Amino acid sequence: MLQKLGVVPQQLAGGDIYPALEKGTIDAAEWVGPYDDEKLGFNKVAPHYYYPGWWEGGPMLLGLSTWINGTRCRSTIKAPIEQAGHASNSWMMAKYDHGQSAGAEETARRGTKLHAFLAADHAGQPQGDQELYAETAATNPNFKKILESMNNFTANGYQWFQVAELGYDSFMARNAQG
Protein backbone atom coordinates (compact mmCIF):
# COMPACT_ATOMS: atom_id res chain seq x y z
CA MET A 1 0.00 0.00 0.00
CA LEU A 2 2.74 2.46 0.93
CA GLN A 3 4.75 1.38 -2.09
CA LYS A 4 1.92 2.66 -4.31
CA LEU A 5 2.64 6.10 -2.80
CA GLY A 6 6.36 5.98 -3.57
CA VAL A 7 7.68 4.49 -0.32
CA VAL A 8 10.39 1.88 -0.70
CA PRO A 9 9.51 -0.67 1.99
CA GLN A 10 12.21 -2.67 3.72
CA GLN A 11 11.41 -5.78 5.69
CA LEU A 12 13.56 -5.86 8.81
CA ALA A 13 13.57 -7.96 11.93
CA GLY A 14 12.31 -6.00 14.95
CA GLY A 15 15.78 -5.85 16.48
CA ASP A 16 17.26 -4.36 13.30
CA ILE A 17 14.95 -1.34 13.13
CA TYR A 18 16.65 0.79 15.80
CA PRO A 19 20.18 0.45 14.33
CA ALA A 20 18.85 1.06 10.81
CA LEU A 21 17.16 4.29 11.96
CA GLU A 22 20.26 5.29 13.92
CA LYS A 23 22.59 4.76 10.93
CA GLY A 24 20.19 6.41 8.49
CA THR A 25 19.83 3.19 6.49
CA ILE A 26 16.07 3.75 6.68
CA ASP A 27 14.23 7.07 6.97
CA ALA A 28 11.21 5.89 8.91
CA ALA A 29 9.73 2.87 10.62
CA GLU A 30 6.28 1.56 11.35
CA TRP A 31 5.95 -0.74 14.32
CA VAL A 32 2.99 -0.85 16.71
CA GLY A 33 2.37 2.42 18.51
CA PRO A 34 3.94 4.63 21.15
CA TYR A 35 3.53 1.96 23.86
CA ASP A 36 5.95 -0.42 22.13
CA ASP A 37 7.88 2.14 20.09
CA GLU A 38 9.01 4.01 23.21
CA LYS A 39 10.19 0.79 24.88
CA LEU A 40 12.27 0.03 21.79
CA GLY A 41 13.83 3.51 21.98
CA PHE A 42 12.74 4.68 18.54
CA ASN A 43 12.23 8.18 19.96
CA LYS A 44 15.99 8.40 20.56
CA VAL A 45 16.76 8.14 16.84
CA ALA A 46 13.52 9.33 15.22
CA PRO A 47 12.32 12.51 16.96
CA HIS A 48 9.06 12.80 14.96
CA TYR A 49 6.01 10.58 15.41
CA TYR A 50 3.24 10.72 12.80
CA TYR A 51 -0.29 9.46 13.34
CA PRO A 52 -2.69 7.86 12.55
CA GLY A 53 -1.35 4.80 10.77
CA TRP A 54 -4.17 4.78 8.22
CA TRP A 55 -2.73 1.65 6.55
CA GLU A 56 -3.34 -0.35 9.74
CA GLY A 57 -6.62 0.45 11.43
CA GLY A 58 -5.94 -1.35 14.67
CA PRO A 59 -4.72 -4.49 16.33
CA MET A 60 -6.71 -7.66 16.54
CA LEU A 61 -5.96 -11.18 17.60
CA LEU A 62 -7.18 -13.26 14.71
CA GLY A 63 -7.74 -16.31 16.83
CA LEU A 64 -6.10 -18.93 18.88
CA SER A 65 -4.07 -21.45 16.92
CA THR A 66 -5.19 -24.72 18.40
CA TRP A 67 -4.92 -28.17 16.87
CA ILE A 68 -7.30 -30.73 18.29
CA ASN A 69 -7.44 -34.41 17.38
CA GLY A 70 -10.76 -36.18 17.63
CA THR A 71 -14.28 -35.20 16.57
CA ARG A 72 -15.87 -35.61 20.01
CA CYS A 73 -13.13 -33.58 21.67
CA ARG A 74 -13.52 -30.79 19.09
CA SER A 75 -17.25 -30.54 19.61
CA THR A 76 -16.87 -30.56 23.40
CA ILE A 77 -14.29 -27.81 23.68
CA LYS A 78 -15.04 -25.68 20.61
CA ALA A 79 -17.10 -23.07 22.51
CA PRO A 80 -14.58 -22.61 25.37
CA ILE A 81 -11.74 -22.21 22.87
CA GLU A 82 -13.72 -19.62 20.88
CA GLN A 83 -14.56 -17.76 24.11
CA ALA A 84 -10.89 -17.80 25.13
CA GLY A 85 -10.02 -16.24 21.75
CA HIS A 86 -12.64 -13.51 22.17
CA ALA A 87 -11.51 -12.81 25.75
CA SER A 88 -7.86 -12.64 24.66
CA ASN A 89 -8.68 -10.15 21.92
CA SER A 90 -10.69 -7.95 24.32
CA TRP A 91 -7.91 -8.06 26.92
CA MET A 92 -5.27 -7.16 24.32
CA MET A 93 -7.34 -4.21 23.02
CA ALA A 94 -7.86 -2.85 26.55
CA LYS A 95 -4.17 -3.29 27.38
CA TYR A 96 -3.09 -1.41 24.26
CA ASP A 97 -5.70 1.33 24.59
CA HIS A 98 -4.38 1.99 28.09
CA GLY A 99 -0.71 1.57 27.16
CA GLN A 100 -0.79 3.72 24.02
CA SER A 101 -1.92 6.75 26.00
CA ALA A 102 0.90 6.38 28.52
CA GLY A 103 3.37 5.64 25.72
CA ALA A 104 2.39 8.73 23.74
CA GLU A 105 2.69 10.87 26.87
CA GLU A 106 6.12 9.47 27.72
CA THR A 107 7.31 9.80 24.12
CA ALA A 108 6.26 13.47 24.05
CA ARG A 109 7.79 14.08 27.49
CA ARG A 110 11.13 12.83 26.16
CA GLY A 111 11.01 15.38 23.34
CA THR A 112 9.44 13.52 20.45
CA LYS A 113 7.20 15.76 18.39
CA LEU A 114 3.79 14.27 17.62
CA HIS A 115 2.34 15.17 14.21
CA ALA A 116 -1.03 14.37 12.68
CA PHE A 117 -0.85 13.46 9.01
CA LEU A 118 -2.34 16.35 7.09
CA ALA A 119 -4.84 15.93 4.28
CA ALA A 120 -2.04 16.77 1.82
CA ASP A 121 0.02 13.91 3.25
CA HIS A 122 -2.82 11.56 2.34
CA ALA A 123 -3.12 12.76 -1.25
CA GLY A 124 -3.34 9.64 -3.37
CA GLN A 125 -3.80 7.35 -0.35
CA PRO A 126 -7.32 6.18 -1.17
CA GLN A 127 -6.40 5.61 -4.82
CA GLY A 128 -3.30 3.65 -3.81
CA ASP A 129 -5.35 1.52 -1.44
CA GLN A 130 -8.05 0.87 -4.01
CA GLU A 131 -5.52 -0.04 -6.72
CA LEU A 132 -3.85 -2.58 -4.46
CA TYR A 133 -7.20 -4.00 -3.34
CA ALA A 134 -8.40 -4.36 -6.95
CA GLU A 135 -5.17 -6.07 -8.00
CA THR A 136 -5.37 -8.49 -5.09
CA ALA A 137 -9.09 -9.17 -5.57
CA ALA A 138 -8.51 -9.99 -9.24
CA THR A 139 -6.33 -12.96 -8.28
CA ASN A 140 -7.71 -13.95 -4.88
CA PRO A 141 -11.40 -14.91 -4.64
CA ASN A 142 -11.35 -15.03 -0.82
CA PHE A 143 -9.88 -11.53 -0.64
CA LYS A 144 -12.49 -10.32 -3.15
CA LYS A 145 -15.33 -11.73 -1.04
CA ILE A 146 -13.99 -10.10 2.13
CA LEU A 147 -13.32 -6.80 0.34
CA GLU A 148 -16.87 -6.67 -1.03
CA SER A 149 -18.29 -7.33 2.44
CA MET A 150 -16.03 -4.71 4.01
CA ASN A 151 -16.90 -2.13 1.34
CA ASN A 152 -20.62 -2.76 1.81
CA PHE A 153 -20.26 -2.25 5.54
CA THR A 154 -18.09 0.85 5.37
CA ALA A 155 -20.31 2.50 2.75
CA ASN A 156 -22.82 3.07 5.54
CA GLY A 157 -20.91 2.28 8.71
CA TYR A 158 -18.69 5.35 8.72
CA GLN A 159 -21.71 7.63 8.65
CA TRP A 160 -22.81 6.17 11.97
CA PHE A 161 -19.27 6.11 13.39
CA GLN A 162 -19.03 9.87 12.75
CA VAL A 163 -22.18 10.38 14.80
CA ALA A 164 -21.49 7.86 17.56
CA GLU A 165 -17.78 7.16 17.95
CA LEU A 166 -16.25 10.39 16.64
CA GLY A 167 -18.95 12.44 18.33
CA TYR A 168 -18.40 10.65 21.65
CA ASP A 169 -14.60 10.83 21.45
CA SER A 170 -14.70 14.54 20.54
CA PHE A 171 -17.10 15.29 23.37
CA MET A 172 -15.01 13.38 25.92
CA ALA A 173 -11.75 14.96 24.74
CA ARG A 174 -13.23 18.48 24.99
CA ASN A 175 -14.55 17.78 28.50
CA ALA A 176 -11.65 15.74 29.87
CA GLN A 177 -10.59 16.49 33.40
CA GLY A 178 -6.89 16.47 33.73
Q: Is there a domain that residue 172 lies in?
A: no
Q: Is there a domain that residue 175 lies in?
A: no
Q: How far apart are CA 119 and CA 98, in angstroms?
A: 28
Q: How many domains does the chain have?
A: 1
Q: Is there a domain that residue 170 lies in?
A: no
Confidence of residue 92 (pLDDT cuts 50, 70, 90): confident
pLDDT at residue 139 in the model: 97
User: Does residue 53 sit in helix, strand or coil?
Assistant: coil
Residue 20 confidence (pLDDT) above 90:
yes
Q: Is there a domain that residue 159 lies in?
A: no
Name residues whose C-beta falls within 8 Å of residue 104's C-beta, 6 or more positions apart in sequence. 33, 34, 49, 114
Residue 142 confidence (pLDDT) above 90:
yes
Which residue range(s) make up the domain with 115?
Answer: 3-139
Q: If you write DSSP's letter for every residue of 105-134 in order, what string do you get?
A: HHHHHTTPEEEEPPGGGGTTHHHHHHHHHH
* Mean pLDDT score, 140-153: 93
Q: How far apart are CA 101 and CA 106, in angstroms?
A: 9
Q: Is there a domain that residue 92 lies in?
A: yes
Confidence of residue 26 (pLDDT cuts 50, 70, 90): very high
Q: Is there a domain that residue 35 lies in?
A: yes
Q: Is there a domain that residue 69 lies in?
A: yes
In CATH, what number is assigned to the domain containing residue 125? 3.40.190.10
Q: Is there a domain that residue 133 lies in?
A: yes
pLDDT at residue 100 in the model: 86
